[in-house]
Structure 1
Amino acid sequence: MRDEPGTRPVSLTCRSSSRHRDPRRERAPSTTGAPHDRRHPATASSRAAAKHTPADSAAGKNTIADGVVEKVAGIAARQVPGVHDLGNGAARAVGAIRNVIGQQDRGQGISVEVGEKQVAADIVVVAEYPVALQDLADRIRESVTDAISQVVGMDVTEVNVTVSDVHIPSDDKDDDDSKSRVQ
């Protein structure tokens, strides 16, 4: 497919193929055998279930769970003007159920790959109409990169933004002008 004048090329990544893996984006090995803080005991199974990445420091090892990085990215993406919601249709449906029961998933629509010192993020958003989508994606990318760098303290190799839908505010309003067919 040729690029049309005035359009931007789009790159697609297949995540199911293991032969195209980038070794720089590999997950760090688990540190489930690492000693834990006695003030906050954790079971071996809960430590093993958590995906995380260690970082060396002078006095020991810092571990930041993938879910934490997802939440940081999600909060940063939601703060960008023009973002209506995060996630595709199924993720938003599950998120609506979570909101009803009082639990919010701040990592909804966010997928991260965390290495020892680097992070790559994939973000799925619903944009407000009539926001310029390319500009919105650029602002999301900048906001997420800044937040991960500042809060998590890791380098961001890439932030891929997918606009899965456009929210039209008039779709939320009830049509009072239409007459009921039944009386």
Structure 2
Amino acid sequence: MNGASELSQAGGRTVISDAAVTKVAGIAARGVSGVYSLGSGSARAIGAIRDVVGATDLSQGIRAEVGTSEVAVDVSLVAEYGVPLQALANQVREAVYHAVQELVGLKVIEVNVEVNDVHVADSDSAKSPGVAKPPVKATERLAASFKDPNPQDRSATGETV
């Protein structure tokens, strides 16, 4: 027997954690065109802070229940405005199903998708009359402060900090 055959016949147990499955599912869901972000409002706010400090949570907005041979996945997402929501949910479901089935090797019994918000891009709101531009969020202000680690007083040049 060669080494590969001997290894494939070796006994033992494999345990795949919920965290591993949620990460695979999260990466698959984020890869679908039309998905703006994953998670609920509070999870996205915390996720924005994590993104700023370089600790992106790839499992945000994903919940998985992993059994010995089966898995069920719940996905919570924000869609881009203009994307048909039912079609987007079906594409996310298919992407997550395929990724978990292929990479994790467990039977996927269901992928539930919750579209909890729609993101309207700033450039679109500027073109559309009657659509108010959303206020700058605290997380965006926080992100901007991290991008300029040495803010200086620019009042002499007329700039505000």
- For normalisation by structure 1, the TM-score amounts to 0.62
1:170 Cα deviation (Å)? Answer: 2.5
1:138 corresponds to: 90
Give the alignment's Cα RMSD to 1 decimal: 1.9
Other structure's SS at 1:63 match: coil
1:102 Cα deviation (Å)? Answer: 1.1
1:125 corresponds to: 77
Pick one of 100, 115, 120 that aligns with 2:67: 115
Structure 1 unaligned spans of 5+: 1-56, 176-183
Identity %: 53
1:50 corresponds to: none
The structure with more helix, counted as a fraction of residues: 2
Cα distance in 2 for partners of 1:147, 1:162 equals 19
2:5 corresponds to: none
Cα distance in 2 for partners of 1:150, 1:173 equals 40
User: Is 1:165–2:156 an aligned residue pair?
Assistant: no
Q: Which has the larger radius of gyration?
A: 2
1:101 Cα deviation (Å)? Answer: 1.4
Structure 2 unaligned spans of 5+: 1-8, 128-161
1:84 corresponds to: 36
Other structure's SS at 1:69 match: helix
Q: Alpha-carbon deviations, 1:31-85, whole Å to 9, x = none? A: xxxxxxxxxxxxxxxxxxxxxxxxxx84201121110100000000000010000
